[in-house]
Every structure is written in C-alpha cells, then in structure tokens.
Amino acid sequence: MVMARHSYASAPVVDGHSLLDEPGFWPAYLADLTEGFGPEVFGSDAGDADAMLDRLHAPSEWPMFTVPLAGGFTIVVHSNSGEEFTTRDYFLTHPDWSQDLVLAGDDQDRIGPGLCWPELAALIEAPPGAAGVTDPHARLLLLLPVLGDAAVPAEAMTAVARALVAQGAPEASEGSEALARRLLQGHPMWGAEEWWFDEDERSWICEGDHSPRKVPLGDHLPPHQRAALEACLTPH
C-alpha cells in the first residue's frame, strides 16, 4: 500500500481543467508516452504543443485535474514542477479518507502501473452530476499514463483510437492507430505488466516491480469502504 508522498497544500496548484480544451494539450500531456510521434498525429500544431508543454511544466503554476468516480471517489492528477524537471502524481481520494492512495508517480521513485484495463474501462464514464473531467474520451486519455497492462483486449485499441479522434486527431489515419498502440504499451517508467484477479480479495493484483498494486487496493479500509471501492472499479 502506497500513501500520498507529496503535500501540495503550500504548492502553487492551479485548476487545470480549462487546459484540456486548448490547442496542443494532448501531445504535451502525453509526451512521455509518445516519443517519436509528432504533434501532428494528435491533430496539433508544433508551436501550440511546445507552448502547452511550457505551461504544464511552469514552476509558478502546477495544473491539477480531477476525474470524479462513482461512490464519491476521485482520481486527482497533480503536476509537480521544479526548476529542472516536472513529475506527475495520480492520487485516488475519498472524502472519508485521512490519506490518499498513490496509483502512480513518475518521479525518481517510479510508482506504477496503478490500473489494469478492466479498471480503466470501468472509469471512462463519469457518474451523473459529477464535476471535473466528465468527457469520456478526455477521461480515458488523462488516465492512460496510470495504465500498464500486458493483456489489453482489442477493444482497448478501438477505445483509445476513438478518444484520440474525438480530441482532434485525424480520423481513420494510420498514425492514430499507431499512436493508440503505443499509448497502450504503458508509461516508459514501468511499461505493461501482468495482472491477475484475486477472487478472495476481490481485487486486481499487479506483478510489476514498481506497482503499488502488489497488494489488494484499499486493503486497509473498513469493509464498507472496500466494497464501495470494488464497485467503483468494476466494469458494468
């Protein structure tokens, strides 16, 4: 079990949700996963992508994104920008918790992957009336860096390609398909790993050396909170 490592209370955190609709966001946000792919495969201009990368890495403003889930759970995406480099943390939070769970973090400790494909697929649709990132295509792309699953089904490729097109990539292009395939190979810090479902614990377990999912997610929680978390991450 990995708990939150960074305190952002005194950091220059800003609401990043408006950035999702700006030119160049996706090639900048997914740059670590898409080496060798130019911004044009996202349908973006190189200048816009470079400008957005500067904004995402600005030490004076650390963009934060929230992905609301069922049962009051939220995945919070935090940028952590120093003078030399920028890292990103993905926290699973709930109002009843005193500490958040870290799903992934790409600093020198390299924590990940934090989700398998069945779980990510269950999180694509936002719950009714939620606030934060609610567009299913944006939710999928925003959480892709947390994914690392060696057994993604064919439907995953279709879903990612569809999300890329919905967010501006050229439709029905070979570049979009190749990009979707690359994104499903996982973050370069941890790649794609083997997962298995523990029937007794009712939780997915990851075999990856750096994954926080070597133990059942939320194994420290009271039974009713564990049940709610299980329901949140279960495909409908």
Q: What residue ranges do the domains of the chain occupy?
A: 13-232
pTM of the model: 0.94
Regarding beta strands 74-81 and 62-68, do their DSSP bridges make them parallel or antiparallel, or are they unpaired? antiparallel
- Which residues make Cβ contacts (< 8 Å) with residue 154, sequence separation at least 6? none
Alpha-carbon Rg for the chain in angstroms = 17
Q: 189-230 pLDDT, tens per residue?
A: 999 999 999 998 889 999 899 999 999 988 888 888 888 888
For the chain, strand residue ranges (E) read 13-15, 62-68, 74-81, 86-93, 101-105, 195-198, 203-206
Q: 156-190 pLDDT, tens per residue?
A: 999 999 999 999 999 867 788 899 999 999 999 99
Q: C-alpha distances in angstroms, 97 versus 35, 130, 222, 226, 235?
A: 37, 19, 11, 12, 24
CA dist., res. 39 & res. 96, Å (int): 41
